[in-house]
Structure formats: structure tokens, C-alpha cells
Structure 1
Amino acid sequence: MQTITTTTDLAAFCTEAAKRPYVTVDTEFLRERTYYSKLCLVQLAYRDENGDDAVLVDPLADGLSLEPLYDLFRDEGVVKVFHAARQDLEIFWVDAQVIPSPLFDTQVAAMVCGYGDQAGYETLVRKIAKAPLDKSSRFTDWSRRPLTDAQKTYALGDVTYLRDIYEVLSERLRSTGRQKWVQEEMAVLNDPATYTSDPETAWKRIKTRTTSGRFLAIVRELAKFRETYAQMRDIPRNRVYKDDALVELASTKPADDNDLSRSRLLQREARKGDIAQGILDAVRRGQAVPQDRLPKVPGGADKLQVNPAIADMLRVLLKAKSEETDVAQKLIASSADLDALAAGQRDMDALKGWRKEVFGRDAILLTEGKVALAVDGARVITVPR
């Protein structure tokens, strides 16, 4: 189990990997105490006619630069294979503004190839590589050195079996002509905006039942301050204050330190110093927003004029199309998509690209009364009206 600790050795491995058609990649990181993930380990593997190779890269080693790896990520001649890549890619984007290209995510590919909704890596190892996977080291502290043999074995398993998974899934995609489907899904992962947390829009993640524009304006300012503060100090946003405390503050509208001291949910550290001042300033800004610039709750299913009968028929259609194509329902359309369709909306991913071919076209015809659902043996089919 080779562990690379120098830039020279990393460059040598990446030079060899660049001669192969693909390289599998995974990371281990910590995020419990920071806003941005702390990269603790990178695993890499490849395979070709000359044999296999897999290594661990220690980014915590003194003097090691990841630039040879980033050069490999930029090499368009080598496919970079990940499983559930989003968090891994966020690390590389934040560190070096690089997104591996071309990119292949086996979780997405597995959903297209009939392995269900969000197929886990352990499931794919068992079904495709026909091997057990020891996950006992999953929650260990990857920042501690030296790494144990158990940790190294676990980490390497995340890229060695990934080679078999990639080869099987890529061949199935080729044989079914669905490579383009996966390529469309990679567009989100290839977009830098996917890995950027904008303080201006942080309020949209806060769950609240109140639709008052003034209340939402205060929520927006409190969320913006929290996100900015957490990013600047690289601490988890919940260490500043949690969502339930944020909602409480928007309701009580504290005007001074005495008001803050009465909060039931605000942590003690947030009742003084920079955080306390930031809260009070945010509340004042929210209260000062002009009436015509107050935010509104993003449209949800409860705000739409949803016809429940149409929504139910769309769910039957989605299940039928999922079974017919062997593609995970969740990948084709979400429950929110179906409700929006039943309410007459048409601007959604479920009606674009390969999804339109698989489901969207018939979904629109169904909502317009131009096709009906019928039973054909054990199948549900559409028939013209």
C-alpha cells in the first residue's frame, strides 16, 4: 500500500496515469470543525494491459503540492472516475479552482443503468465487483498520522473496486446508447456554481412556515451574515447559530444585548462580541427593507394550484417509465416536479434532454388529456385519446 508524500512521487504516478484511458479517484476529509472540507487523503487507481496500480496521496505531508494531480485533472484524454463526486469536487474547486474533466460519476451512471435511486458504493461493489467491503474505518479521524493499515485498506477499496464498476457501467451505457444521458447529468457537476455558497441566497435553505415578507427579509439578512461570518473564519455555519435560533431571532427581532439574552435557542457564544453585533445589525437591515423589495417564499407545491388527480396519474406514469427504461424514478423526476407539472408549470429539468424522451413528452400529453393510462398485462402503458 504505497503512500505518496512527495511532489516528485506524485508527479511520477500522474505521468503514468496520464497514459491510461481512465483513473479512479476518491478522497477522505473532515468537515466537522470547519466550513470548508479539510482534505486528508486522496486515493488514485488505474488499470491497463500492463497491470494495475493504486496509491494513497497524503496532502498533509510537508512540502507536497497537488499540482501534478491537478494537471492530470485538466488532461482531457483521461476520464476521471468518482462515485458520488460532489463533495470531492467541491474540495478541488475550493483549493485550486479546478474541476476534473472529462468526468464520470458512477452513482449517476448506476441510476441510469437500473441500480435504483442513489445506489451506494457498497451496493455496487457487492453487485458488480462481487466482493465484500469493510466500512469499519468510515468514521475514523483521517487527519491523524500515522494512518493504520485498516484505514489504508479501506481507503484503497474506494478506488480499486471502482475500476470494475466503471468498466461495467460504461460498457452498459455504450451498449444501450445512454452515454449522452450521463454526460447531460455531468453538466451540474462541471458547473463551478455548484460548489459556491452565495450568502445572498443562503436564506432559501431555511425552513420556515411563515410567509411574511418582513419576517423573510430578517431571515435573509441573518442567513447572509451567518454565511459570510462562517466563510471568513472557516467554521461550520451552525457554530455561529443554528437554523432554529435564526428563525427565533427573526420572530423576536432583538434590538439590543438584553433582548439577545432572552433567546431560548441562541448559543452563549453568540450573545456577545462580533456575532451578537452582527445579529443586531442584520435584524435592523431586515426591518429597514422597503415594502416593495421584501422577499417572497420560493414557489412550493403548497402554493401551486395542484390538481391531485393529475399528480397521482403522473406518479403512475413515472413509475411505469422507470420500470420500462430501468432508470431510477428519482433521477427522472422529483415529487416536486410532478406537482408542478400537475399545476401547469413547464420549466423544469424533467421536460428537457433525455428526460423529455423518457418521460416528459408523455407527461405533457397526459396533463393535456391527449393520452390516457391503460393496463396491458402487468404493465401500465399510454394510449392516444
Structure 2
Amino acid sequence: MQTITTTDALARFCEAAKEQPYVTVDTEFLRERTYWSKLCLVQMALPGKNGQAVLVDPLSDHISLEPMYDLFRHTGTVKVFHAARQDLEIFFVDAGVFPTPLFDTQVAAMVCGFGEQVGYETLVKKIARENLDKSSRFTDWTRRPLTEAQLTYAVADVTHLRVIYEFLSKELVKSGRTSWVEEEEAVLLNPETYITRPEEAWMKVKTRTSSGRFMAVVRELAQFREGYAQARNIPRSRVYKDDAMIELASTKPTTYDELGKSRLLLREARRGDIADGIISAVKTALECKPEDLPKPNEGAEHLQVNTALADLLRVLLKSKSEAEGVAAKLIASASDLDHIAAGKRDVPALQGWRHEVFGADAMRLVRGEIALSARGGAVRVVPAG
């Protein structure tokens, strides 16, 4: 196991990796004190039981990660990750780069019947027949030098991944489902997956009030918080939490004295830039013209769900999931089923490979063309009438 701390050493490894069919990759990072994840370590391993495995130290003063990003752009080598989303966000934010082609073993495992959001440790046990020591998982990866326990933990995240990748890729070829995984990975490789626009942040805030004026305050406060947190690279919660935002939307403070009466606002947010931003946001919302107020349910649509139909769709989904050996939540979410039962058709469960597995019969069920029949412990699809 080699720890790489210089650009030249990284370049040599990456050039060797370009000659291989795949390279396994993982990262260690911290996000507790920042808005964007801080990359602390990159682990990579080449194929073969004794293939070279390295740890790349991005915190070294003598390294540029450009050779690694060049490897990520090299289409002749598959980049293998497990649960890649957070890793890909780091690379996209830091360098505007996505590793392509990509193979995500968590997605592949769900397609291959290993359950929903299956963890790496589970796959190591079931496929590689090994056990992992996870005691270093939540250690501080910014501290140097790293301990032997940390180094051992980190390298295991890419060495066992080789066996898992080779097993799952073969299973996908045998089942003819490689394209299913590629369809899912296209979402991971879409920049929109990782872009958070301050003006849209309010749509993710959960409230029980649909008043246009109330929501206008939420909209302005959420936009200010997101922009402030991004610009200073601090967590949203360091600006103010959602419960404080809801309180502010109710009290609508426009002066420091009114702001000081907040029960939930952090002390440091009652003066200075954050306080000014809150007051400005509230005033902007209060001055908003009626026609520019957020419409009720604009952020989270309230559906008129046919609950009986939704229940039938859930039974159909369970039957299809078991028959196909694919995790139910990968085929359709609870939201998908409710949307279908409410008459909506632009939902993921009705598109692509999901339409083949579930969506086509879901629509036949909606139209009354099929029914569900139970025999023993199995549910069957039968013609209606």
C-alpha cells in the first residue's frame, strides 16, 4: 500500500491505470463544518488480487489532482465506486469532472437483487466473503499523519471492491440488465444532480402553511441562507436552521429589536451580516406584489390520490420486485405510486427499464385491463373481466 503525496507519483499511477480495464475508487471527506465536502483522501486500486492499491493525499502541499482527473476523463478505463453520489459531487464541485465510464456497485447490487440501498460492508460479506473493520469510519480524516487503522480501513474500501465489481458486472451481462444500471448512472453523471440554486432552496423547506405571504418570506429567507452558506462554505445550519426560518416567516421581523425576540435563532445571527440579510429578506417578501407570491402547493404539490388504487399499485410493485429480483424502491418510490394513483404520468416509474418491469402493467391496472389475484403467498396478474 503506497501513500501518494506528489503530483509525479500520482501521474505514474494514473498512467498505469489507463492500461487497465477498470480502477476502483473511493474517498474520505468531511462535511460537518463546511457547505461543500472537504476531500481528505482518495483510494484507488488496480485489478487483480495483488493489483496495486494506493492512497492519494489531497491535503499534501506537493500534489495536484489533475492526473487523477485526467484518468477520470479517460474512457478506456471503467471507474468503479460504491454509492458514488457524494464522491461525484466532490469531483464536480472541485474540478467540473465526472469519472466516465462509471460503474456504481450499489446501483448494480440493487438491480441484481441484493436489496435496497445495500451497504458496502454487506456486499463484502456476501460476495467477497470477507469482514470489514469499520471502527475508523467516523475518524477525523483531516489530521496527519493518518493512523495505521485509518490506512487499513481506507484501502479495504477499494481492494474488496474489485471482487464485487467483477461479480456484479458478470451478473448484469447474464441477466441482460447492464443498460438498466447505465440508465441509473446517467442521473449520477448529470450536473443538475449536484447544483443547488439559492432561488429554488425554499421548495425543500417543509411547512404546514400555504399562505402566499408566509411562503414568500420562506422563499426569501431560504434564498439568503443558501447563498450566504455557499459563499462562505459553511453549513446551512450555521446560518439558521429550518425551525428558526419557519419562526421568522411567522413573526416577520423588520428591525433588530423584533429579530432579538426570536426563540430559535442563533445568537450570532441576531446581529451583523446574517441579521441584515434576514431583515432584508423579510422586507422583500412583505413588499412582494400579490401576483408574484408563491402559489399554494407550488413547492410541494398536493395530490388527489385514489388511495385504493395506490394500495393496489403497491401490491403490484411488491409482486414485480420479487419476481424480477430487483429492489422495490429502485423500481418505484412511494411518491411515484401516489402520483400514478392521482392521474400523473410524468413519473420515473413509467419510463425506461422501469416501464418494462412495472410501468406497463401499472398502467394496465389503472385502466382496469388487469386485476391482481392471490394464490398462497404469491400475487399474480390476471386479465380483468
TM range (shorter): over 0.9
What's 1:32 paired with? Answer: 32
Matched, 1:233 2:244: no
Contact 1:311 1:342 in 2 (8 A): yes
CA apart distance, 1:113: 0.4
CA apart distance, 1:375: 2.3
What's 2:10 paired with? Answer: 10
Deviations 1:291-336 (A, max 9, x none): 12221324757x2111111111000000000000000000000111
CA apart distance, 1:377: 4.4
Which runs of structure 2 are paired with 1:128-167 in the superposition (5 Å)?
A: 128-167=127-166
Q: Give 2:91's aligned amino acid.
A: F
Partner Cα distance (1:24, 1:276) in 2: 47
CA apart distance, 1:110: 0.6
Partner Cα distance (1:232, 1:156) in 2: 34
Matched, 1:344 2:343: yes
Partner Cα distance (1:214, 1:105) in 2: 44
Partner Cα distance (1:74, 1:36) in 2: 23
Contact 1:311 1:338 in 2 (8 A): yes
Contact 2:365 2:371 in 1 (8 A): yes
Which runs of structure 2 are paired with 1:102-141 in the superposition (5 Å)?
A: 102-141=101-140
What's 1:42 paired with? Answer: 42
Which runs of structure 2 are paired with 1:232-271 in the superposition (5 Å)?
A: 232-271=231-270
Partner Cα distance (1:177, 1:376) in 2: 30
What's 1:318 paired with? Answer: 317
Q: Give 2:34's aligned amino acid.
A: T
Deviations 1:184-204 (A, max 9, x none): 001111101111111011111
CA apart distance, 1:174: 0.4
Partner Cα distance (2:265, 2:376) in 1: 59
CA apart distance, 1:206: 0.8
Contact 2:244 2:265 in 1 (8 A): yes
Q: Please give the secondary structure, in 1, of the residue aligned with 2:52.
A: strand
Partner Cα distance (2:242, 2:250) in 1: 13
Q: 1:229 to 1:299 in 2, by over 3 A?
A: closer
Contact 2:310 2:338 in 1 (8 A): yes
CA apart distance, 1:48: 4.6
Contact 1:20 1:48 in 2 (8 A): no
What's 1:305 paired with? Answer: 304
What's 1:196 paired with? Answer: 195
Partner Cα distance (1:96, 1:26) in 2: 17
- Runs (4 or more) in structure 1 with deviation over 6 Å come to none
Contact 2:203 2:300 in 1 (8 A): no
CA apart distance, 1:376: 4.1
Q: Give 1:24's aligned amino acid.
A: T
Contact 2:204 2:299 in 1 (8 A): no
Partner Cα distance (2:63, 2:133) in 1: 29
Q: State percent identity of aligned pairs.
A: 66
Q: Give 2:16's aligned amino acid.
A: E
Partner Cα distance (2:64, 2:169) in 1: 32
Q: Report the count of equivalent residues.
A: 383
Contact 1:217 1:286 in 2 (8 A): yes
Partner Cα distance (2:232, 2:349) in 1: 39
Partner Cα distance (1:155, 1:24) in 2: 12
Q: Please give the secondary structure, in 2, of the residue aligned with 1:339.
A: helix
Deviations 1:262-299 (A, max 9, x none): 00000000000000000000011111222122213247
Partner Cα distance (1:293, 1:174) in 2: 53
CA apart distance, 1:63: 2.2
Q: 1:161 to 1:298 in 2, by over 3 A?
A: farther
Partner Cα distance (2:126, 2:285) in 1: 53
Matched, 1:276 2:278: no
Contact 2:111 2:325 in 1 (8 A): yes
CA apart distance, 1:378: 3.3
* TM-score, length of structure 1 as denominator length: 0.98
* TM-score, length of structure 2 as denominator length: 0.98
Matched, 1:383 2:382: yes
Partner Cα distance (1:187, 1:291) in 2: 40
Partner Cα distance (2:26, 2:287) in 1: 47
Partner Cα distance (2:276, 2:253) in 1: 11
Which runs of structure 2 are paired with 1:37-76 in the superposition (5 Å)?
A: 37-48=37-48, 51-76=50-75
CA apart distance, 1:344: 0.9
Partner Cα distance (1:287, 1:364) in 2: 45
Q: Please give the secondary structure, in 2, of the residue aligned with 1:138.
A: coil
Q: Please give the secondary structure, in 2, of the residue aligned with 1:140.
A: coil
Q: Which moved more, 1:292-301 or 1:252-261?
A: 292-301
Deviations 1:194-234 (A, max 9, x none): 11111011111111111111111110110000000011111
Aligned-residue Cα RMSD (Å) equals: 1.1
Q: Give 1:253's aligned amino acid.
A: K
Partner Cα distance (2:222, 2:16) in 1: 47
> Unpaired segments of 5 or more residues in structure 2?
none
